[in-house]
């Protein structure tokens, strides 16, 4: 079952790379007491994700923050090293937190996984964006397969 507006973000712990090395990050801490936009992509360095989805959030980071968003998080079912490299390649420093969900733990907990085996991708995340305030989902924008409309930075910005 998929998460919906009014639901609390599930409590899971993930690992990501920081300047201090590999660190654990819990969703309870990530979302607690703040307004967060989390957007997810099927994969780092993939065509739409790299050409449109992530760059749109980089470009609109200040506008989102002007609407009260305190953190913008990009999630993909990729390992921490890939997410760090993808973030560097897109100059996200200071704008977007790159959150690897390497085992799909958060993706499955949200009920937003997709089967990419036909494309040799395995389990991946659907393309979506959500807005959460103090850990509770206040907006959820899940794309239809192959689409890129409702989860873009511009679209989320219009909803805030």
How many whole angstroms separate alpha carbon 20 and alpha carbon 157?
A: 32
Tell me 9's DSSP state.
P
How many whole angstroms separate alpha carbon 154 and alpha carbon 53?
A: 10
Name the E strands within the chain: 13-18, 21-26, 35-41, 71-76, 97-100, 113-115, 123-125, 128-133, 136-142
Strand partners, 157: none
The answer to whether the CB of 53 falls within 8 A of the CB of 75 is: no
Active site residue 74: no
How many whole angstroms separate alpha carbon 20 and alpha carbon 18?
A: 5
The catalytically annotated residue of 30, 41, 49, 98 is: 49
Residues annotated as catalytic (active site), given as ranges: 49
């Amino acid at each position: 079952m998929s998460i919906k507006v009014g639901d609390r973000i599930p409590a899971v712990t993930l690992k990501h790379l920081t300047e201090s090395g590999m660190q654990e990050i819990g969703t309870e801490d990530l979302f607690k007491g703040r307004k967060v936009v989390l957007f997810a992509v099927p994969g780092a360095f993939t065509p739409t994700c790299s050409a449109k989805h992530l760059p749109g959030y980089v470009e609109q980071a200040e506008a989102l923050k002007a609407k009260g968003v305190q953190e913008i998080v990009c999630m993909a079912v990729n390992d921490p090293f890939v997410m760090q490299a993808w973030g560097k390649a897109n100059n996200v420093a200071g704008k977007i937190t790159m959150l690897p969900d390497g085992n799909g733990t958060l993706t499955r907990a949200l009920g937003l996984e997709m089967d990419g085996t036909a494309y040799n991708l395995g389990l991946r995340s659907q393309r979506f964006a959500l807005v959460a305030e103090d850990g509770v989902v206040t907006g959820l924008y899940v794309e239809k397969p192959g689409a890129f409309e409702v989860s873009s930075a511009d679209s989320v910005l219009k909803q805030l």
